[in-house]
Amino acid sequence: MENSTKLASAVNEISDRLENELDSGLDLLKSLIGFQSVNPALTDSGFEKAELPAQEFLEEWLYSRGWDVELWEPDSEMLKDNYKGEPGFVEDRKFDGRPNLVARLPYSHNQRTLLLHGHIDVVPADESGWEVNPFEGAIKDNRIYGRGTVDMKGGLAAMLFASSAIADSDINPLGAVEFATVSDEEAGGMGTLALAHRLKNNDIPYSGSILGEPTNLMVAPVSRGILWGKIKIEGRSGHIEVNQPHWEEGGAVDAFRKGLKVVRAIDDLNREWSKRPDKLHSLLPRPCMINIAEFNAGHSPTSFADSSEITFNVQYLPQEQDEKGLGTKVKAEIEEHVARAAKLDPWLEEHPPEIDWIIDADSYELPRDHEFFKKTKEGLESSDLEFELGGVETHTDAGRIGYLAGIPTINLGPGEMRFAHQVNEHLAVENFLKAAKIYAALILAHLGMD
C-alpha cells in the first residue's frame, strides 16, 4: 500500500508537470513530423537517406539533455550471416546513411533498465486529399496532423516528453531509461533486427520494453504476423476484338479472367478461416484473413492479358509460427489451396500459378502471467490511470525484441491504428498528453523510486 501511494503521488506530480509543459512536448512532435523520413524502399527516388536528418535531430536533442547517445548503421552482411531466412531479415537491404539510434539516461542507480523504442521511418504522403502539409505538424481542433503523427512519431515524442519530465523533477527512479529508434520498419524490419541483435549481446538487465505503436493507449501484449506475397498467373495474348479459337488450338487466354478465379479461391479460403478457432484470438476483433492489395494485368487495350499478378497480405497468429517464428505453415496452406483451385481449370492445371513470398514478419505474444505484464497493469491501476487491454491487428517489431533479444515487450502508444498510413493522419492532443502520463507512470513503476 505504501509503494502504491508513493507511486500515485509521484505520477500526479509528473502529470502536473506534463500538463504545464505540454507546448514543449508538442513542439518536439512537430519537429519530428517536419522530417520527411520516408522509407526509401516504398518510393522511387529522393528518399535514399531520408531517415538520417530525423535521427541526427534526435541525437542532438537527447545529447543536449544529458543522454548518452549513439548513432550506428546496421551491418547488412552481418545480419545476413546470422539471420537469413529468419523473421525481420530482408535480402539486399542497405543502410548507408540510414542509422539506428540508441540513447541511455541513468536517473540515479543502474539497478534495472526500461527500454522505450519505435521506428523513425514513415510511409510516403503523396496521396491526394491532404488538407494540410503532411510534414508540417499543423494543429487544428485540438488535433495534430501529419504523416507519422500516429505511426509512430507521436509515441516517440511522448516517450521523450515523459522521460525528460521525470529527469527535471526531484524524483529519483532506481534505474535507467533506454530509448531507441530504428530505420526501415515500414518495409520489413531489418532495422529492428539489428537493434535486437545488439540488445541480445549486451549485459544490461532489462525489466522489459514498451514499443510505442498506436494502440489508442491500450496495453497490447499480442500482435499479428504478416506475410506479403505475389501470385503470378500465365495467360496468352491475342487480339481482344477477334473471336479466338480454344487455347489448345493456339487461341488467347485471358490472364485477367484466370486471375479472378484465383481471387475467388482466396475468398473461399477466407470464408473457411473466418469460422476456424485457430484463426481467432481473444484480444483481436477479427479472424486472420488474406487481403488482396494489388491486381495487375494486361499491356494493351486491344490485347488479352498475357499475364496477371496478385499482390496479397496475410495475417497469422503466434500459435501458427514454426520453431523459427515464421509463418511457414500458413504459407503451405495457401500454396496447397491455390494449387487445388488451379486443378479445376484446364489451363491453370497445365500452367499453375506461381507464388512468390516477399516478407514474413513474425507475430508476438507476451503471456499475461508474465511479471512485466503484471507490473504494467499494477503500475497503471496504482496511478489511477486506466488500464485497457487489447491487441494489435497488424505486425509490430515486438517479436524481434521479445523473442530474439529476450526482453519482454508490450505494444502501447497514442493514436488509433486506423489513421496510420491515411490521408490526413492525425493524433488528438489529449491522447498525446495522456500517453506521456502513462509512459511516465510505467517508468516509475518498473524502475522503482528512491
How far CA 386 is from CA of 227, 376, 437, in Å, comes to 34, 11, 11
Helices marked H in 351-397: 371-382
What is the residue type of 241? E
- DSSP secondary structure, 134-203, as one string: TTT--EETTEEESTTIIIIIHHHHHHHHHHHHHHTSS--BSSEEEEEEES-GGGT-HHHHHHHHHHHTS-
- DSSP strand pairing (176-182 vs 113-119): parallel
Task: Report the catalytic residues.
Answer: 121, 185
34: number of CA atoms within 13 Å, CB side?
Answer: 10
What is the residue type of 313? N
Q: Phi then psi for 48, rounded to 5 degrees? A: -60, -35
Find how far residue 4's CA is from the centre of its chain.
33
Q: If you search the block for the grid coordinates 545488439, which residue do you land on? A: 198
Q: Which grid cell is 271? A: 470464408
CA–CA dist 353, 370 (Å, integer): 44
Q: Which grid cell is 256? A: 485477367
Gyration radius of the chain over CA positions: 24
Contact 282, 311 (CB under 8 A): no
**Closest by Cα among 309, 404, 312 to 89:** 404
CA–CA dist 182, 279 (Å, integer): 31
Q: Which grid cell is 100? A: 539506428
Q: Phi then psi for 356, rounded to 5 degrees? A: -115, 115
3-state SS, residue 206: strand
**Closest by Cα among 67, 52, 53, 26 to 154:** 26
Contact 165, 14 (CB under 8 A): yes
Is the C-alpha dihedral spanning 116, 117, 120, 125 positive or negative?
A: negative
331: number of CA atoms within 13 Å, CB side?
Answer: 22
